Amino acid sequence: MTGDIEQTSRVRFPGLSPRAYEHPADRGALAVLRAVPGIGPILQAVAGAFTERGERLLQVASSIRVGPKAYPSIDRLRNEVAATLDLDPVPDIYVERDAQAFAGTYGIDQPFIVLSTGLVDLVDHETLRWVIGHEMGHVMSGHALYSTILRRLLGLQRSLGWLPAGYLAMRAIIAALYEWQRKTELSCDRAGLLACQDPQAALRGHIALAGGMDAKQIDTSEFLAQAKEYQEVEDVRDSLLKLLHTERRSHPLVVVRAAELQRWSASEEYRDILTGTYARREDDSPSNNFSEDIKSAARSYKESMANSTDPLIKVINEVGETVAGTAGRVWSRFAPNGATE
């Protein structure tokens, strides 16, 4: 496919469930996050203190709300993407003056999307479609609640610093939120791809985020080779540095995101969705999701570790297999009546 795809040739996904595109590690991380001791009261307190009306009012006062008479081409994209993903109501989009290229989704009850002028000026039409699809993925998955709360907790962290117990609890929750948020970006990159259905447009978006001012001057194969170089380090010291690089990041590193999405674009799962075989909202069963989400996340992490060439991940994987094997042998020997799991 090319960047000149017409809306009439783009597949729509009636009744699309977020589970169709969500990365298993995203769903698993959110399930674990919800199980963190003490998370409930803190989330309730922070959410209660959040004034969504105020943030929306600020956007109304300081940026341009997209509509038929304000950025009409972006307004068409907004409605086309919502129709493709079957999202109703259609979220508002605001364009904010900022030289930095970024997009964000905010709010809880009525999430809205903010695009910077730096981003709008930088990317082409179809790449902007991918960006808007990405942000609408956040809306569909309900990510705005937890990402909003993370921002509030980061603001509160300093005021709790004098209280050691409160500080440590806050750090644990913030770390869990960061881990989850990084996984949501992988999910919503997929939502963006479903919106534009053009892997090259998505790749141009990642290149732009990485510093590409003109996609025509960037060889995409060389850019993806950087991801391979990053993932195939041979020194454990580099592995530790990679952990430090990502610890406090809300987003995965760009080359990692790009490689992850390009792999998904070539997968059978993506092809099945395009041909109409995908999870639908009417079939979602929240009461049964927790255990399945954890299992899916575990499978995802296990596959990632098994396929990784990272030396630290190899050591962790080998240790994990040894511990699991030893535990299994001990259980088999001492379990009553030879019971097994």
Contact 220, 201 (CB under 8 A): no
Which parts of the chain sit beneath pLDDT 50?
A: 1-7, 165, 235-238, 301, 305, 310-331, 334-341
What sign does the dihedral 293-299-301-303 (CA atoms) show? negative
pLDDT digits (tens, 9 = 90+) for 235-273: 444 455 555 555 566 667 788 899 999 999 999 999 999
Domain map (residue ranges) of the chain: 7-295
Amino acid at 123: V
Both tokens assigned to 310: 């990272």
Predicted pLDDT of residue 77: 98
pLDDT in tens, 6-17: 445 899 999 999
DSSP E strands, the chain: 64-65, 93-96, 103-106, 112-116
Instruction: Give 285-297 as a DSSP string.
Output: -GGGHHHHHHHHH
So what's the pLDDT on residue 106? 86
Could you report the per-residue pLDDT of 132-142, keeping only the tens digit for each?
Answer: 999 999 999 88
CA dihedral 104, 116, 215, 275 (to 10 degrees): 40
For residue 289, what pLDDT is reported?
Answer: 59
CA terminus-to-terminus distance, the chain: 48
